[in-house]
Structure 1
Amino acid sequence: MNDHGLIIGLESRLLNAWPSFDYQAYDGWILRFANGYSKRANSATPLLPHAALDEELLDYMIARFVEANVRPTFRLNGLQAADVDERLRLRGFKEIEPTHVLVAPIPQADCEPDPEVELAPQASKRWVREAAASYGGDKSDDETLMKIVSRIRQKAAFATLSLDDKPVAWGLGVVERGYVGLYDIVVAPDLRGIGLGRRVVSSLMAWGCGQGAHSAYLQVREENEVAHSLYRALGFEIAYGYRHRVMPGRSS
């Protein structure tokens, strides 16, 4: 059984750490839009236990997605009413990208980041450009990424790890009320698997410790066993999961 208090607490922090451009609230649900960049910033998410979704509200929210030119997407984190998933399935919404939210305690004995990991309080154009390029695909839009991270109002650290003066790994930490959220952990494609991501994560956790955080959280897709292995080694455990239900496109 999911811990609703933990889910609400972490989901609230996530909303603040990864801001969208537009927010709309409907009966325990929050709709977020950010020009389609990342599903978590462009989806309907329940924020109250047993958030209900009848046909009328579903149709209304679908229309809001269409107006925003965003694919209708519901991010189901366990707070929704028991019949919501089946209702969406019957309406043709496809289940994709099951994801885990992981949490780990931060060792309080070591709050010193890796000295080779540069931590900046604000995103530079270079950080955004290089991190987006290493992500590639639909997350290579550096202009939208800059708009998102520029909206962060919590204390943040933008991490860059360089080898021979060349940036090769990036990450973002956002601290709020005892937790540091880890976002956009990415390593240059040709240098993955040699521990660079671990150094960035460890440094952001240490930074969070210095800001008063006792725990770290992050999100990783269920299928990403390489990342799960890394995070298990750093003490992360599954707190809860979420999955997306998306309206099929014309080609689906």
Structure 2
Amino acid sequence: MMLTTNEDSQLALECERRIINAWPALSTLVLGDWVLRFANGYSGRANSATPLAYGAELDDAMLDMLEELYRADGLPPTIRLTPLVAEATRAAVLARGYRVKDASFGMIAPLAGLPVSEEAELQIEARPELEWIAGVAARQSGVKTHAGNLAAIVEKVRLPAAFASWLVEGEPVAFGMAVAERGMAEIGLICVDPAHRGKGLGRRIVAGLMGWAGAMDCHSAYLQVEQSNAIAISLYRSLGYRQLYAYETRILD
């Protein structure tokens, strides 16, 4: 996806660089302008190669090395094709038969003037408690139900963070997290118990985290959402987010 302005191009780059710290992998390797991340297969971002500069290239030898490293770790080679990737590298990845695993949008919203939530039902902790980890894992699917692998990632966060829960009659039923770095905060892991969906709890969690980010002197909040998730996209737009860029995560079977 081509970005429309120089400002948006810079914002996309800043988001992509911060994502590495906001959602840390268990192991990372730097390969030219790329970072290769490994986290036991939990989540796409933490187990894929991500470009960190415009025009990032992978030649044949680098692609061979990348594929060997992921296979040695028991993972399929996975590459995030963001707007930072050089066109020749994008073409080379497709020529090797990498298929689309998922397609996502990067979205961003301003935070100026947002109030800090004072709702008693919103509980925010600076570190991920065991109850928060178990609650999130229980409301995921597939490999993301593995609480130990989730804990291994979120416990590595070293930046100011907020781990949010929404309580109903004292029980946590909705969750989310945010990580602040140099004026920008990523919002992620938004999930609501199926029995409590349709009540606006996802909105309250996101709004609460945005208020927290504003109190941390962040000027913007950003997030990533699957392009097929129309309900979430509509929610985020209603909270002031706009689409900044699009990308594909491609996997080699």
Contact 1:101-1:240 within 8 A present in 2 as well: yes
Q: Which residues in structure 2 correspond to 1:156-235 (within 5 Å)?
A: 156-235=161-240
1:44 aligns with 2:44: no
- Indicate yes or no: 2:18 matched with 1:13: yes
Shift of residue 113, structure 1, vs aligned partner: 4.5
Match of 1:134 in 2: 139
In the alignment, is the contact (CA less than 8 A) between 1:113 and 1:206 conserved in 2?
no
Structure 1 residues 67 and 109: CA distance shift in structure 2, 3 A: closer
Letter in 2 for 1:234: L
Distance 1:149 1:220 in 2: 19
Amino acid at match of 1:57: M
Q: Determine which of 224, 235, 246 is the counterpart of 2:251.
A: 246
Runs of 5+ unmatched residues, structure 2: none
Name segments (4+ residues, structure 1) moved above 4 Å: none
Identical aligned pairs, as a percentage? 38
Match of 2:122 in 1: 117
Return the alpha-carbon distance in structure 2 between the equivalents of residues 113 and 212 of structure 1: 18
From 209, 233, 236, the equivalent of 2:241 is: 236
- Say if 1:158 and 1:82 are closer, same or farther in 2 by CA, change over 3 A: same
Q: Which amino acid counterpart does residue 49 of structure 2 have in structure 1?
A: A
> Among residues 57, 63, 76, which one is paired with 2:62 in the alignment?
57
Partner of 1:77: 82
Asked if structure 1 preserves the Cα contact closer than 8 Å seen for 2:114 and 2:214, the reply is: no
TM-score, normalisation: structure 2: 0.94
Structure 1 gap ranges (5+)? none
Q: TM-score, normalised by structure 1?
A: 0.95
Give how far 1:96 is off.
2.5
Q: Deviations over 1:27-78 (max 9, x none)?
A: 1111000111101000011111111122111111100101111111001111
- Distance in 1 (CA, whole Å) between partners of 2:65 and 2:185 is 35
Please give the per-residue CA displacement for 1:160-201, whole angstroms capped at 9, x wherever unaligned: 001112211000011111111111010012222221100000
2:110 to 105, 112, 129: 105
For residues 92 and 154 of structure 1, the distance between their equivalents in structure 2, rounded to whole angstroms, comes to 37
Any idea what the Cα deviations from partners look like across 1:202-238, whole Å, max 9, x if unmatched? 0000111111111111110000000011001001001
Amino acid at match of 1:201: V
Q: 1:96 to 1:136 in 2, by over 3 A?
A: closer
Superposition CA RMSD, Å: 1.2
Tell me, in whole angstroms, the C-alpha distance in 2 between the residues paired with 1:237 and 1:69.
Answer: 37
Code of the residue aligned with 1:114 in structure 2: it is: E
The change in CA–CA distance for 1:109 and 1:147 in structure 2 (over 3 A counts) is: closer
Structure 1, residues 7-31: CA drift from partner, whole Å, max 9, x if none?
2211111110100011111111110
> Within 2, Cα distance between the matches of 1:113 and 1:18?
27
Kept in 1, the 8 Å contact 2:41–2:143? The answer is: no
